Amino acid sequence: MHMSSVAPVAASEFSAEERESVYKAIFTRRDVRSQFKAGKPVPDDVLKRLLTAAHHAPSVGFMQPWNFIVIKSVFQKTLMKMAFSRANDEAAALFPDERRALYSSLKLEGISAAPINLCITCDRSRGGPVVLGRTHNYDTDLYSTVCAVQNLWLAARAEGIGVGWVSIVRDAELRKILQLPDHVVPVAYLCIGYVDELYATPELELRGWRQRLDLDSLIFNESWGNP
């Protein structure tokens, strides 16, 4: 291999407009549950662009541990919606009375409304028993897969497509529905579809569930607790 073929290329800066677009995608990204446009499918070429963005996420040891299960059938969505409903009833009971009513009023999934459901998984055997960079932290494959989720989410925002993460479901039920082998972990179950409107700030903030933390209070110098 010639050295020139592996030499780095210039790290050119983005233009002001390009830079602003990146930050716009970050700051206006939302977890979508109820704003999906009915009857507007996501074309295959657009979905492929989103998956390509996800596939270009960083991964420790370049192991690329992700797979993408695309779900469009009413049958599979119905199974998933039922699994969510069972878990959501369990979750509601865990909150104190003063929070339970607000929790129950929140719409926490868009499984049926979204034209595409997507499960992004992590194959924990990818790359073999010893992976560069994973020798002392076994969970870096999971962290890498989450980077793929974020890549897809930001690319979707740029395409005018909303994404919602469904996390309230029992792992065993999700595994059964998707027929996952034991060495594969479901990292994110996502609902994907076009949207016309998005909340100006996260819905949970608007509804009074939690407020955004002050950034300065989260920054330490040199070691934990030093402001």
What percentage of the chain reaches a pLDDT higher than 70?
Answer: 98
Tell me, what's the pLDDT at 1? 46
Residue 147 has pLDDT above 80, yes or no: yes
Tell me, what's the pLDDT at 6? 80
- Domain extent listing, the chain: 31-197
Q: Provide the CATH topology of domain 31-197.
A: NADH Oxidase (3.40.109)
Tell me the whole-structure pTM to 2 decimals. Answer: 0.94
3-state secondary structure the chain: CCHHHCCCCCCCCCCHHHHHHHHHHHHHCCECCCCECCCCCCCHHHHHHHHHHHHCCCCHHHCCCEEEEEECCHHHHHHHHHHHHHHHHHHHCCCCHHHHHHHHHCCCCCCCCCCEEEEEEEECCCCCCCCCCCCCCCCHHHHHHHHHHHHHHHHHHHCCEEEEEECCCCHHHHHHHHCCCCCEEEEEEEEEEEECCCCCCCHHHHCCCCCCCCHHHHCCCCCCCCC
Residue 226 has pLDDT above 70, yes or no: yes
Residue 38 has pLDDT above 90, yes or no: no
Indicate the pLDDT class of residue 137, thresholds 50, 70 and 90.
very high
Residue 43 has pLDDT above 80, yes or no: yes
Structure confidence by residue, pLDDT tens digits, 61-114: 999 999 999 999 999 999 999 999 999 999 999 999 889 999 999 999 999 999
Tell me, what's the pLDDT at 4? 52
Indicate the pLDDT class of residue 7, thresholds 50, 70 and 90.
confident
Residue 195 has pLDDT above 90, yes or no: yes
